[in-house]
Amino acid sequence: MTVSPLTAAGRRVQYDSLRGWIELVERDLGPSELRRVPGATSEAEIGEITEMLDHSAGSPCVLFDDVPGFDTGRVIVNCNGTLRRQAITLGLDPATVSHDVLLDFWARTLRELQPIAPVEVDDGPIRENVVSGQAIDLGRFPAPIWHPKAGGRYIGTASLNILRDPDTDWVNVGTYRNQVLDRNHVGIYISPGKHGRMIRERYFDRGERVPVVVVVGSDPLLFVAACSEAPRYGTDELAWAGAVRGAPVEVIRGELTGLPIPAHAEIALEGFIDPVERRAEGPYGEAYGYYSERVADCPVVTVERIYHRDDPIILGCPQGKPPHEDNRFGAYLRSSLIRQQLERAGVPNVTGVWVPPEAGNRGLVVVAIRQAFAGHAVQAGLVASQAGGVAYLGRYTVVVDDDIDIYDLNDVWFAMLTRVDPERDVQIHRRGWAGPLDQAAHPDHRGHNSRMIIDATKPWEWRHRFAEPVVTAAASRRHRDRFGWIVDGNEPPNDETGDARG
């Protein structure tokens, strides 16, 4: 692994590429966190294995090589699926990383973040191969069929779709799905309201082609930046990632579009979105566990340049039934973002926010508060239901007292089942921001959805008369700290704190 001298000083993250990340994981964490699997087919087995990994807590990252039918190209999945691998991605100590460490990291990072603009370099590994004209053939790369009824091979499931606003020169990087349509065309489906779609429509309104670069093999931190909703409108995700990294992202300039391309990426597709041409795209196994409908009028990218490293690696993060990889790492960033948005909106005494991976990081938001006044819980619930981090496709917001462990869904259920009177404590608000992926909405009316806000706090008026709970979250944590060795199957500790007789 090499770290550029240009960015080495003061750098938090000690890799500059996906290959550097792989090297660190293998060196520092070993085969329990990264496995190499040769010979899995791109037509079925890579997708089947990925689904198994997504739904097995603590499962390793897997690098698929020697893919049958392809003489070049590999696929990697589940990079940020565990806390220890997230630590490598973020430049933290994997030996000491924990749930609390990640929440604290993102809270501090979001509070202190100062974007670091990318720096242009003359060359980089991404230029090891530059292909144009009739030599372009996307079928050379082992883009998987991720789900049995998918409409085709999706090369972009953890992709960076790079576009520049035509009016401000703002460069936006988003993760959108990219299906291989033929040798030199990929789909680019973008949900309504997303930054990339707003930029795209500005070009379309003028009848102009949209310059675009689709990176389908970035390092895991750039993927986090691209799929996060933390960067505000107008913020360059590459600069945001630079701030998290502690050093600027090195980029080359695209030969045709002038767009920045991460110099250490694996594969980049450069081209243009036509304002008129549309093709059928999908179905795709979407984020909430259902196939999206086939999109008959999806814009497409005509690929006019391919840049790629020798034996390149496709970074994969297919969707499907939650939780999947992006839910596991996204829970920490999104929860910290929503908490920051609540506090900036003036909601006091917020003690915690959690968007459970099991709910796809959107369907359920749990907010803990220390009640300070009548209506405090409703204020927190209303604001949280429309906070930027969860406004799109949100559904349920639950507000609890600070004696509830919001990171344990059993404890959240306890609050809901013992402190909620449905007539008094449940509100429904209509016409929230949704989109085509909301399968609970009628297929012809998917632009809006409703939100349920559940006040699961002790009623303000008689909270001091509320019965005392038999077990509290704080007590459960103490018991776990002291006697956890019993359920973990470990030997008892030598000090008295673990003595069951004490």
Residues 101 and 14 in one domain: yes
Q: Of 129-138, 361-370, 484-493, give the lowest mean pLDDT range.
A: 484-493
* Structural domain contains residue 381: yes
Q: How far apart are CA 43 and CA 31, in angstroms?
A: 26
Q: What are phi and psi of 220, to 5 degrees?
A: -60, -30
Task: Quote the mean pLDDT of the chain.
Answer: 92
Q: How far apart are CA 500 and CA 502, in angstroms?
A: 5
| Torsion sign across C-alpha atoms 320, 325, 330, 331 | positive
Among 226-230, 304-308, 444-448, top mean pLDDT goes to: 304-308
Residues 308 and 364 in one domain: no
Q: Which domain holds residue 62?
A: 5-316
Quick one: how far is CA 7 from the chain centroid? 25
Q: What is the tally of structural domains in the chain?
A: 3
Query: What is this structure's pTM?
Result: 0.91
Residues 478 and 454 in one domain: no
Residues 398 and 498 in one domain: no
* Structural domain contains residue 454: yes
* Structural domain contains residue 322: no
pLDDT surpassing 50 at residue 5? no
Q: What angle do CA 360, 81, 127 make, to 5 degrees?
A: 110
Residues 234 and 373 in one domain: no
* Structural domain contains residue 323: no
Residue 46's pLDDT band (cuts 50, 70, 90): very high
Residues 183 and 55 in one domain: yes
Residues 500 and 403 in one domain: no
CATH code at position 441? 3.40.1670.10
Three-state helix/strand/coil letters over 413-437: HHHHHHHCCHHHHEEEEEEEECCCC
Residues 452 and 480 in one domain: no
pLDDT digits (tens, 9 = 90+) for 272-326: 999 999 999 999 988 778 888 788 899 999 999 999 999 999 999 998 888 889 9
Residues 12 and 111 in one domain: yes
What average pLDDT does range 158-165 have in this prediction? 97
Residue 310 contacts residue 210 (beta carbons within 8 Å)? no
Residues 305 and 406 in one domain: no
* Structural domain contains residue 337: no
Q: How far apart are CA 16 and CA 89, in angstroms?
A: 10
